[in-house]
């Protein structure tokens, strides 16, 4: 019995799986994720439609993987950047890190901001959990106080994260000339919220 497939085989499978995830992101940024088909994604990834099933049961499972893996990585990265920043620089560091993520992977960020309020309940739930975790990280970075991550985050941090996501959504459309203004407004609003004593 084969217990451990060779590293090469696992790597090759991982490569094709990654191609499917990437193809889905690319096409979703055009049609929207809800408009994607399994055949369309497989074609874009360069495999036969029937091979899709070697990786995911359906498109929804693929979407869940995108959120857990790709989106999760981005959001965790933002949290780490916030926590590593000096207290009075948290808003600036966080906003710049988020805008850098937009520049680095537009398709992923478009998917994230869209599905956070999209029609698939499962996607919304996962992405709201990511938002919540980031709000806790932001709160900790600004106040130095760690709260129980299973409780809802404080209102200020929660609102700041919402503005951060929406700022990413706007940056996706903005012409470069407008981006500086959007960045400064966003930093200002987050600072206002985090400076206040809130519920």
CA 70, 32, 34, 40 torsion: positive or negative? negative
SS3 152: coil
Cα-to-chain-centroid distance, residue 100: 13
Among 30, 49, 73, 103, binds DNA (CB under 7 A): 49
- Of 12-20, 28-36, 83-91, 136-144: span binding its own copies (CB under 8 A): 28-36
DSSP assignment string, 82-111: HHHS-GGGHHHHHHHHHHHHHHH-HHHHHH
Among 17, 18, 19, 34, binds its own copies (CB under 8 A): 34
Closer Cβ to DNA, 48 or 175, answer by number = 48
Among 4, 145, 150, 176, binds DNA (CB under 7 A): 4
Instruction: Please work out the total of residues on this chain that contact DNA, with binding judged by CB under 7 A.
Output: 28
SS3 24: helix
Say whether residue 61 binds DNA (CB under 7 A).
no
Distance between start and end Cα atoms, the chain:
59
| Residue 117 site contact among its own copies, DNA, none (CB < 5 to 8 Å, cut-off depends on kind) | its own copies
CA-wise closest residue to 71 among 142, 125, 121, 35: 125
Task: Count the neighbouring beta carbons within 10 Å of the beta carbon of residue 157.
Answer: 26
Closer Cβ to its own copies, 96 or 174, answer by number = 174
Binding mask 54-93 for its own copies (x = CB under 8 A): ----------------------------------------
| Residue 149 site contact among its own copies, DNA, none (CB < 5 to 8 Å, cut-off depends on kind) | none
Task: Report residue 180 as tokens.
Answer: 């500086």
Unique residue bearing structure tokens 């680095």: 104
Binding mask 89-128 for its own copies (x = CB under 8 A): ---------------------x--xx-xxxxxx--x----
Give start and end residues of each alpha helix (H) in 116-175.
Answer: 121-143, 155-173
Q: Which residues are near its own copies by CB under 8 A?
A: 28-35, 110, 113-114, 116-121, 124, 152, 155-156, 158-159, 162-163, 166, 169, 173, 181, 184-185, 188-189, 192-193, 196, 198-199
């Amino acid at each position: 019995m084969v217990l451990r497939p060779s590293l090469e085989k696992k790597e090759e499978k991982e490569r094709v799986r990654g191609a499917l995830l990437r193809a889905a992101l690319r096409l979703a940024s055009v049609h929207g994720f809800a408009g994607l088909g399994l055949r369309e994604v497989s074609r874009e990834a360069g495999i036969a439609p029937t091979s899709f099933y070697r990786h995911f049961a359906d498109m929804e499972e693929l979407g869940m993987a995108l959120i857990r893996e790709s989106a999760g990585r981005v959001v965790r990265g933002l949290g780490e950047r916030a926590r590593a920043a000096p207290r009075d620089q948290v808003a600036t560091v966080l906003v710049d890190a988020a805008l850098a993520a937009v520049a680095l992977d537009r398709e992923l960020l478009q998917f994230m901001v869209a599905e956070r309020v999209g029609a698939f309940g499962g996607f919304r739930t996962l992405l709201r959990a990511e938002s919540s975790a980031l709000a806790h990280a932001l709160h900790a970075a600004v106040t130095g106080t760690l709260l129980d991550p299973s409780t809802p985050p404080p209102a200020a941090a929660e609102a700041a994260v919402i503005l951060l996501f929406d700022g990413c959504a706007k940056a996706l459309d903005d012409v470069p000339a407008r981006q500086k203004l959007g960045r400064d407004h966003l930093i200002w609003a987050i600072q206002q919220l985090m400076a206040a004593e809130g519920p």
